[in-house]
Amino acid sequence: MKSELVERLKKEILAMEGFCTPTVNSKVHFGIKTLEKAFPNHVFPTGAIHEMMCATPEDAAVSSGFAAALAGRIMNDGGMCLWLGQEISPPALRFFGIAPEKVLFVPPVEKQALWMIEEALKCRSLKVVIGEIKELNLTESRRLQLAVEESRVTGFFLRHNPRSLSNTAAVARWRVTALPSTETGIPGIGYYSWKVELLKVRNGIPGCWHIAWAPTGFAEQAAPVTHPSKAVHHIKTA
């Protein structure tokens, strides 16, 4: 009885914080159960903003791939994506389950990038907005969070080498780095493998997973699941 009440209250708090209990239709499955467990309600939060930290161009490529794979899942049943960034090669998106013609590419324009991202996030007809922005402070991220709460667009921000690692209103902070590709039994390079670290997640449990990107989708690898090594990232758990 009491636990039911607590559960209900927890859900109410989540709803107030912008996490709607997803209906069956709006649920997006990524195929990685253990990863999804890290999130509130055990559902990957769409209609929210995620940030991905990357330090090197290699990291940026890996993060782009991971973001593209997630976006591909979200756009599975239609919709378009806006990618604010440079150097993305459209043909490669095909490998992550996105039809490249469904993506609109915008080069980041000096001092306009945030405005552009906000405008894009407000557009209900887009499914995903991927933005490459270096700096993002709390105030700016709150604005963006408000925009997505209204429009239910999912935003991924690739943050290359940001100067400050201040708190943001993003629902999750990721770090994705490359792992040696999986052995497929054939010489050469196997499936892309990534070490996916969930550094921070609002109302969820951070963690670290080894994930491969196979032609069928995400595949979890048997690597040991550990919690982020350092306790630097204070976790706000319910």
Partner 1 sequence: MVSRFVSIWFRYLEADHLLIREPELKDKVFVLAGPDRGRMVIREVNDKAEAQGIFPGTVVADAKAVMPSLLISDQEPGQVLEILNELAEWCIRYTPVVAVDPPDGLILDATGCAHLWGGEHAYLKDIGQKLKAKGYHIRAAIAGTVGVAWAVARYGQVTPLIASGEEAYAIAPLPPAALRLEPPVLEKMQKVGFSRISHFLGIPASVLRRRFGQPCVTRLRQALGNAYEHIEPVRPVEPYQERLPCVEPVRTRTAIEIALKTLLEMLCIRLARENNGLRKAIFQAYRMDGKIEEVSIGTYAPSCNVNHLFRLLSLKISNIRPALGIELFVLTAPQVEEAGRQQEALWSYTGDNDLTEIAELLDRLNERAGNNIVKRYLADEHYWPERAYKPVASLTEKPVTTWPVTRPRPIRLLPVPKQIQVSAPIPDYPPMLFRYKEKVYKIVKADGPERIEQEWWLQHGLHRDYYIVEDEKGSRYWIFRLGHYQQTGSPEWYLHGFFA
- Angle at CA 124, nearest 5°, toward 196 and 31? 30
Q: What mask, x for binding partner 1 by CB under 8 A, covers residues 28 to 57?
A: -----------------------------x
CB of 234 to partner 1, least distance (A): 29
Should residue 219 be labelled a site residue for partner 1 when binding is judged by CB under 8 A?
no
Is the distance from CB of 118 to CB of 94 less than 8 angstroms? no
Should residue 89 be labelled a site residue for partner 1 when binding is judged by CB under 8 A?
yes
Q: What mask, x for binding partner 1 by CB under 8 A, covers residues 102 to 121?
A: xxxxxx-x--x--xx--xx-
- Angle at CA 232, nearest 5°, toward 161 and 163? 20
Closest to 218 (Cα-Cα) out of 6, 15, 30, 13: 30
R_g (Cα) of the chain, nearest Å: 17
Tell me 102's DSSP state.
Answer: G
* Among 29, 37, 94, 236, contact with partner 1 (rule: CB under 8 A): 94
* Among 46, 141, 193, 203, contact with partner 1 (rule: CB under 8 A): 193
Say how far apart CA 147 and CA 153 lie, in whole Å: 8
Query: Which C-beta is closer to partner 1: that of 23 or that of 125?
Result: 125
Say how far apart CA 68 and CA 65 lie, in whole Å: 5
Query: Which C-beta is closer to partner 1: that of 43 or that of 133?
Result: 133
Binding site for partner 1 (CB under 8 A): 57-58, 60-62, 64-66, 68, 77-80, 82, 86-96, 99-107, 109, 112, 115-116, 119-120, 123-126, 177-181, 187-190, 192-194, 213
